[in-house]
Amino acid sequence: MAPGLYIHVPFCVRKCRYCDFYSIADLSAMEAYMAALIAEMQMRGAGFKDGVFDTIYLGGGTPSVLGPGRTGRVLEAAAKHFHILPGAEITLEANPGTLESRSLAQYRSAGVNRINIGVQSFDDANLSFLGRIHCARQAADALRAAEKAGFSDIGMDLIYGLPGQGRDAWQRDLEAAAGFCPAHISCYMLTYEPGTRLAAEKDAGRTKALSEDRVSAMFVQAHAFFAEKKYQHYEISNFAACRDKRSRHNQKYWNNASYLGLGPSAHSYTEPERFWNHADLSRYIRDLSAGCLPTAASERLTGSQMMLEAVYLGLRQSDGIDVAMLEKRFNCDFWKRFGPVIRRFQKTGHMHTSHNRCRLTSRGMLFLDSIAAEMAGVI
């Protein structure tokens, strides 16, 4: 599997109250960021040993605040400093509040061929609670405009498990999403990450989290709904209209492929080493202006750590763990090591095995972390 190239755009019009990704709401340093990013491309391009890429993913933050012109410059620089294979998947994350029909056509002209729109909800009250800058009408307009601009790979993100959210409200979001027939849908459970405004409000008692049982029921509800719509639930949070519409880039993370991250806070991985950049735009710009790479730290994974990650990431996916591949990679007897744990979860209906694969059932996906912890105990 060829490596993927991730580019972190750290700018947002406004920081959402639930988000713990590195971003700032000050756009004044955008040109300085562009210069630093291109400098990092030049420096990383000379040293990254797996320099042939078949995916580029612009994430954030809100990459669509760059606009088509700067996005085109980023992609031109990437093509100059790295070997980007023909037919590469090039994804742009976008906020509906930053899109218009003309800009969408310009993004396609710049080379973007896959767009992922952060809808989150089609309910204005939910969007207000999350701190989004767009309304439901803008989300719908953006989805229609993306299709009109010629995008055939349109993805959208939804968030569920909001305080007070019920089954009927979540059903309305699911039905609204399916009505646009997107190629890809991601459904993320609302989490209260330390350091976010939402976590602070929860700790102060101003926001009450939905119960685990109700959140789990919404996961099951989404699984059943999209199964009826013939979507493939190929990863715990992700649904695709067909196999070809799965996120090629994100599958690299889940299958231990190499990836190179550029921009502040971006992570990179080439087995067995992982390294990451400073999560500070000012330092990122300063380091690169001085001719230094903005690497904050690195770690070399042990064999046990890599096996644990392979098991956990395999269980996240509907394809499950490829047993033969894992045995070859780690020179181990999978069934001898994990057999007792797997048989126990098979009896409870949380796991099944077939065709040299070990998978979680839809019920098992609700208990991914605890099942993975049990398997970690025998590594």
Between the alpha carbon of residue 339 and those of residues 45, 343, 358, 359, the distances in Å are 43, 6, 10, 13
> What does the pLDDT look like over 213-224, one tens digit per residue?
999 999 999 999
Alpha carbon distance 8, 252 (integer Å): 17
Residue 78 corresponds to which tokens in the numbers above?
């990437």
Is residue 379 scored above 90 in pLDDT? Answer: no
Residue 45 corresponds to which tokens in the numbers above?
């391009």
Residue 278 CB contacts under 8 Å (≥ 6 apart), including other chains: 264, 265, 284, 287, 294, 295, 296
Report the pLDDT value the prediction gives residue 51, as an integer from 0 to 100: 72
Between the alpha carbon of residue 124 and those of residues 133, 135, 139, 282, 357, the distances in Å are 10, 6, 10, 35, 43
Is residue 236 scored above 80 in pLDDT? Answer: yes
Class of domain 4-254: alpha beta
Name which of 276-280, 309-313, 355-359 the model is least confident about: 355-359
Round the average pLDDT of the chain to a whole number and report it: 96
Is residue 48 scored above 90 in pLDDT? Answer: no
Structure confidence at residue 101 as a pLDDT band (50, 70, 90): confident
Alpha carbon distance 242, 148 (integer Å): 21
Is residue 49 scored above 70 in pLDDT? Answer: no
Is residue 43 scored above 80 in pLDDT? Answer: yes
Is residue 167 scored above 90 in pLDDT? Answer: yes
Q: What is the mean pLDDT of residues 82-98?
A: 96
Residue 33 corresponds to which tokens in the numbers above?
């960021």
Nearest to 262 by CA among 4, 6, 54, 59: 6
Q: How far is CA 48 from the centre of its chain?
A: 23
Is residue 150 scored above 90 in pLDDT? Answer: yes
What's domain 303-376's architecture? Orthogonal Bundle (1.10)
Q: What is the mean pLDDT of residues 223-250?
A: 98
Report the pLDDT value the prediction gives residue 50, as an integer from 0 to 100: 59
Which residue intervals of the chain bear CATH 3.20.20.70? Answer: 4-254
Is residue 46 scored above 80 in pLDDT? Answer: no
Query: Is there a contact between 147 and 181 (Cβ–Cβ < 8 Å)?
Result: no
Structure confidence at residue 286 as a pLDDT band (50, 70, 90): very high
Specify the DSSP class assigned to residue 13. Answer: S
Nearest to 235 by CA among 120, 314, 336: 314
Specify the DSSP class assigned to residue 348. Answer: T
Q: What is the mean pLDDT of residues 56-84?
A: 97
3-state secondary structure 227-263: HHCCCEEEECCEEECCHHHCCHHHHHHHCCCCEEEEC
Alpha carbon distance 268, 85 (integer Å): 19
Is residue 355 scored above 90 in pLDDT? Answer: no
Count other Cβ atoms within 10 Å, centred on residue 228.
Answer: 9
Is residue 264 scored above 90 in pLDDT? Answer: yes
Alpha carbon distance 254, 284 (integer Å): 27
Mapping DSSP to helix (H, G, I), strand (E, B) and coil, where does residue 97 land? helix
Query: Is there a contact between 168 and 196 (Cβ–Cβ < 8 Å)?
Result: no
